[in-house]
Amino acid sequence: MRYCLKLATWMVVREPGEPSPRRLTTSAAVARLALDFVRAADDDKEHFWAVLLDGKNRYRMHHEVSIGSQSASIVHPREVLGPAVREGAAAIVIAHNHPSGDPTPSFEDIEVTERLARGGEVLGIRVLDHVIVGNGTEDWTSFADKGLLVNGALHR
């Protein structure tokens, strides 16, 4: 039997005067982090990330759940919530990009957020926000800011 161990290390460098990237208490902080992820990916595909948080909404780690096409990525709750369970996360924020540059949530974005929020509720992991960022722009949309996610539950 063979085993493969994959490791990745991220160094977070903060500019003087910037708030700590370790604490994600606002949608703007999540959007800044997601914009950094998009810049690092540097392609025209849709990427979906989950950011795992502790009980005080401090960054523990993140992982890239999927890389899709120019218009979609496939996301399953087990791929988002499984690592959160294994790492003991109290909450998560999810983020993805729209290569078109328009961060308006699609029907599919709303559906996957609802599935993740329901799954998180069952597991005791709050889904605090889903942020969509537009490639090549500084534009972003927050489900929490729009009132779609409240206390980890999707509200339509």
Q: At CA 14, angle to CA 146 and CA 54, rounded to 5?
A: 55
pLDDT for the residue numbered 51: 95
pLDDT for the residue numbered 37: 86
Domains of the chain by residue range? 29-65+94-148
* CATH fourth-level superfamily of 29-65+94-148: Cytidine Deaminase, domain 2 (3.40.140.10)
Residue 153 has pLDDT above 60, yes or no: no
DSSP secondary structure string for all residues of 65-113:
EEE--SS-----HHHHHHHHHHTT-SEEEEEEEETTS--PPPHHHHHHH
Q: Which residues pair with 23 in a beta bridge?
A: 58
- Calculate mean pLDDT across residues 10-17: 61
Strands 153-154 and 149-150 come out as antiparallel
- The structure tokens listed for 29 are 């902080």
- The structure tokens listed for 64 are 């890239």
Most confident of 32-41, 64-73, 85-94: 85-94
Q: Which helix (H) or strand (E) holds 150?
A: strand 149-150
pLDDT digits 0-9 by tens, 69-79: 776 678 889 99
pTM for this predicted structure: 0.81
Q: Which of 10-14, 37-41, 85-89 has the lowest mean pLDDT?
A: 10-14
